[in-house]
């Protein structure tokens, strides 16, 4: 029998008898480092403090734990989304659940394995042994990934594909995922296409679709994903990305239908229900939106990661329906159940403002919106959509200063994705050309200051800092051609002097494409293209030039 005494295991099960049985089974394989969690909440708290080699998780976590409505699938979703378990963690789902849709929900979250109860000691230990053996093969790559040494990890995957032919496709998959995480979508797409030439694997089709979507090749992504759904109608993640693809193409009604079909097959994924609610609300289907958001709020009720924005979405839907009574109840639930959340006050105030607008109390609505704006500064991780919605509400209620302040702060946030054009568009759409011009002028001044700062850093030889500053400026005005040429020049200078970096090289190529699209006759374009090709050749990078 293999020696597993060094393995640590977390058993997540509300039933003390089952916990005892599992403990005895594990002991027969010399596994003694065993801890317990009786619910998803206690499991999350324990996993937040320390890592475990193996998580054995009961699917039905409601029995006697108080976590009614929370299950193993939602726990796994929380753990993956919030990165509370490492990539090497072995997660095994234990279930006697006969409901087909729930089994599909668990399967789409790709636990390491799942075992149907009842099972024998030998069956459990065989599954653990298989998972441990596989993990040992991949652990050197996981270690490099943990050290953020992505280049070496990718190289080791290539070596391992030859060394471990049995796991070659899995190493290729891991390599592709690292390219995706590094923003190298073209490289990842080629890997997925190579895999598909060998075997028609669903995850490879999905990976290719994600790369095509990320490169904004939406028609290609649509074709890839429709083909995947046609041949594998239970591959649920394909529905989610296909819906996003139709949204990107402006086809929200089709996106809603796709999500409804997916929820009918697999009705327990919170993120999918949330997406359906958002799309339904956008298309004006209040009934579907209400049903979806109510399920989101109910299913997330016992999660450690409840999001008060879900309550805002539900209130927004109920207000659109004209149901003030239910909306008031949702706000009360928000205040009562999520007092300690840093985002609750913002969400409560926005929801209350919506309700007051419904009743015609414009003064009260404006007061609540002012409270919401003030509370944004104390919040953590609010979505860009919610903040943009708050800007719209401020404009509607003539809170011009608050709207401008919010939008300027949004443009200064690294991950907001809001550019000057986006901000100006919001104000122009509201008929406020004066505010659009004012915000545009402020951003222009900021960009000029950043250009000066970047030039100073470059003259001092701090090339990386210059590139960082210009990247910040580009987020504000991605269509500014003089800024694009300055940023491209700085990146090429860094690559030439400090060495080739794949992600930075790809970024230079993207900026050159953007310059060509915006101004194909720009006098600096040919020189920058020649410099780009020369730098590629200098470092032996393949080029068709």
The partner residues of 10 in beta bridges, in order of sequence, read 35, 55
**Superfamily, domain 8-138:** Response regulator (3.40.50.2300)
Is residue 515 within 8 Å of residue 485, measured between CB atoms? Answer: yes
Structure confidence by residue, pLDDT tens digits, 24-34: 999 988 899 99
**Rounded to the nearest 10 degrees, how much is the dihedral formed by the CA atoms of 535, 538, 543, 545?**
70
What is the value of pTM for the model shown?
A: 0.78
Q: Which residue has the higher pLDDT, 334 or 304?
A: 334
Confidence of residue 545 (pLDDT cuts 50, 70, 90): very low
Query: Mean pLDDT across the chain, nearest whole number?
Result: 89
pLDDT digits (tens, 9 = 90+) for 186-245: 999 999 999 999 998 889 999 999 999 999 999 999 999 999 999 988 888 899 999 999
Q: Which residues contact 15 (CB under 8 A, 6 or more apart)?
A: 58, 63, 64
Per-residue confidence at 146, pLDDT binned at 50, 70, 90?
A: confident
**Selection from 39-43, 93-97, 189-193 with the highest mean pLDDT:** 189-193
Residue for token pair 């005895």: 24
CA distance 492 to 467: 10
- Segment 10-23 shows an average pLDDT of 93
Q: Which two tokens stand for residue 56?
A: 């054995």
At 477 the pLDDT is 80
Q: What is the pLDDT of residues 275-332, one digit of tens each?
A: 999 999 999 999 999 999 999 999 877 777 789 999 999 999 999 999 999 999 999 9
Share of the chain above pLDDT 90, in %: 61
In what helix (H) or strand (E) does residue 54 lie, and over which residues does it extend?
strand 54-58
The number of C-alpha atoms within 13 Å of 22 and in the hemisphere containing its C-beta is 28
Identify which has the larger pLDDT, 165 or 270: 165
Is the pLDDT at 101 greater than 80? The verdict is no
pLDDT for the residue numbered 507: 86
CATH fold of 149-250, please? 1.25.40
Residue 65 predicted with pLDDT over 50:
no
- Please check the confidence at residue 2 and state whether its pLDDT lies above 70: no
Average pLDDT over residues 171-196: 93
Out of 3.90.76.10, 3.40.640.10, 3.40.50.720, 1.25.40.10, which CATH number does the structure's domain 444-538 have? 1.25.40.10
Common-topology check for domains 8-138 and 444-538: no
Assess contact for 465 and 499: CB atoms under 8 A: no
Q: In the numeric block, which tokens belong to residue 214? A: 């990320």
Confidence band for 1, pLDDT divided at 50, 70 and 90:
low
Q: What is the pLDDT of residue 78?
A: 82
Q: What is the C-alpha to C-alpha distance for residues 354 and 432, in angstroms, rounded to an integer?
A: 22
Spans of all domains in the chain: 8-138, 149-250, 267-306, 444-538
Which range has highest mean pLDDT (1-15, 239-253, 514-528)?
239-253
Task: Give 66's pLDDT tier (boundaries 50, 70, 90).
Answer: very low
């Amino acid at each position: 029998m293999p020696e597993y005494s060094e393995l640590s295991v977390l058993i997540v099960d509300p039933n003390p008898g089952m916990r005892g049985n599992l403990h005895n089974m594990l002991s027969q394989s010399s596994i003694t480092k065993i801890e317990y969690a009786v619910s998803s909440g206690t499991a999350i708290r324990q996993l937040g403090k320390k890592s475990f080699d193996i998580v054995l998780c009961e699917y039905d976590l409601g029995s006697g734990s108080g976590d009614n409505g929370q299950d193993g699938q939602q726990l796994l979703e929380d753990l993956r989304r919030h990165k509370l378990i490492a990539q090497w963690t072995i997660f095994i789902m234990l279930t006697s659940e006969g409901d087909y849709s729930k089994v599909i929900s668990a399967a789409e979250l790709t636990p390491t394995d799942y075992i149907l109860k009842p099972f024998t000691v030998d069956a459990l230990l065989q599954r653990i042994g298989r998972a441990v053996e596989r993990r040992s093969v991949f652990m050197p790559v996981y270690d490099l990934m943990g050290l953020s040494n992505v280049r070496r990890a990718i190289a080791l995957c290539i070596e391992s594909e030859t060394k471990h032919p049995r796991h070659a496709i899995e190493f290729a998959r891991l390599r592709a995922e690292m390219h995706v995480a590094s923003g190298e979508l073209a490289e990842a797409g080629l890997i997925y296409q190579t895999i598909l030439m060998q075997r028609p694997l669903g995850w490879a089709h999905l990976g290719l679709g994600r790369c095509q979507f990320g490169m904004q090749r939406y028609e290609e992504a649509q074709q890839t994903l429709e083909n995947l759904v046609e041949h594998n109608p239970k591959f649920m993640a394909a529905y989610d990305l296909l819906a996003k693809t139709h949204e990107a193409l402006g086809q929200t009604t089709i996106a809603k239908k796709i999500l409804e079909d997916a929820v009918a097959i697999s009705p327990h994924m919170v993120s999918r229900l949330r997406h359906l609610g958002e799309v339904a609300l956008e298309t004006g289907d209040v009934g579907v939106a209400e049903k979806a958001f109510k399920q989101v709020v109910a299913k997330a009720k016992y999660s450690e990661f409840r999001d008060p924005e879900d309550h805002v979405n539900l209130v927004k839907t109920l207000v659109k329906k004209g149901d003030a009574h239910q909306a008031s109840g949702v706000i009360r639930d928000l205040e009562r159940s999520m007092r300690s959340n840093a985002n609750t006050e913002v969400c409560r105030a926005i929801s209350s403002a919506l309700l007051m607008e419904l009743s015609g109390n414009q003064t009260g609505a404006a007061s609540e919106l002012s409270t919401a704006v003030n509370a944004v500064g104390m919040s953590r991780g609010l979505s860009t959509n919610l903040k943009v919605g708050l800007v719209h509400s401020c404009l509607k209620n003539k809170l011009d200063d608050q709207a401008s302040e919010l939008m300027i702060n949004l443009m200064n946030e690294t991950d907001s994705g809001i550019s000057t054009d986006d901000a100006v568009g919001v104000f122009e759409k509201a008929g406020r050309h004066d505010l659009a011009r004012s915000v545009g002028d402020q951003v222009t001044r900021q960009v000029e200051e950043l250009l000066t700062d970047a030039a100073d850093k470059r003259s001092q030889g701090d090339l990386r800092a210059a590139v960082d500053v210009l990247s910040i400026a580009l987020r504000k005005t991605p269509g500014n051609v003089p800024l694009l040429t300055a940023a491209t020049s700085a990146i090429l200078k860094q690559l030439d002097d400090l060495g080739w970096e794949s992600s930075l090289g790809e970024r230079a190529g993207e900026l050159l494409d953007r310059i060509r699209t915006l101004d194909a006759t720009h006098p600096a374009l040919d020189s920058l293209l020649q410099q780009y090709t020369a730098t590629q050749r200098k470092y032996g990078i393949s080029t068709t030039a």
